[in-house]
A and B are shown apart, each in its own frame.
Chain A
């Protein structure tokens, strides 16, 4: 089975721009979660989707949004980028929420200049 794929792998954007990151879960997985990883804050939960519905949201400003499509693929969007948004964005998929382990993709490295 193919793993979780994320595109693009690397991205350089300018402050004020917006960005869309994409995630394709493992086949059959219906739950997708997003995380932000930075050296200072570690791994922080952004949001979780299950069957196209947002189940959970972390403590991030409204500039961070996401969605899930009927094929379980997910996108996250960050608008009005700030320097502090530079991070590794990780997507994870699982069969379902809560009790299932999550499998992570390779991440998208976003650099905001």
Chain B
């Protein structure tokens, strides 16, 4: 079975602080994809990044960076110099290429950036 765990239910920080959102996944498959989505108060999920299981390179996009570590089954997301507009619920998701192939989401982390 596949599972995604986002242990941090809520995080609150002050603007300009760095913040890391944790994501731990479980799968027996060797080929899979990991995703991060952002859900702002408006409700629409916004795609942030996709990673396949064979690519463990870290990625940086502006203030966002992702750290994928297969050895610990983690795919963590860091926001540097956070801004109020980063306030949202962030979801980590997993999809295996074998088996059921469903996109499985974690429970989400509600991030609040205070001015």
Residues of A within 8 A of B (CB): 33, 42-43, 45, 48, 55-56, 58, 88, 90, 92, 97-99, 101-107
Contact = CB atoms under 8 A, between A and B. Distances in A.
B60 interface: no
Nearest to A58: B102
Interface string B45-71: 111001010000000000000000000
A27 to B, nearest CB: 17
B100 A56 contact: yes
Given A101-B47, A106-B44, 12 more contacts: A43-B105, A43-B108, A45-B103, A48-B102, A56-B102, A90-B45, A99-B97, A102-B47, A103-B47, A104-B46, A104-B47, A107-B43
Dominant secondary structure at the A interface: strand
A103 B108 CA distance: 17
B43 A106 contact: yes
Nearest to B98: A98
A101 B108 contact: no
Interface residues of B, number: 23
The 10 nearest A-B residue pairs measured at CB: A104-B45, A43-B105, A101-B50, A106-B44, A45-B102, A101-B47, A42-B107, A98-B97, A98-B101, A107-B43
Interface of B: 33, 35, 37, 42-47, 50, 52, 91, 95, 97, 100-108
A57 to B, nearest CB: 9
Given A101-B35, A103-B47, A106-B43, A42 B102 contact: no
Contacts of A98: 33, 95, 97, 101
A18 to B, nearest CB: 24
Contact of A105 (B44, B95, B105, B107): B44
Nearest to B49: A101
Given A58-B102, A98-B95, A104 B44 contact: yes
Given A42-B107, A43-B91, A97 B47 contact: no
A110 to B, nearest CB: 13
A101 B100 CA distance: 17
7 contacts: A33-B103, A45-B102, A45-B104, A58-B102, A88-B43, A99-B52, A104-B44
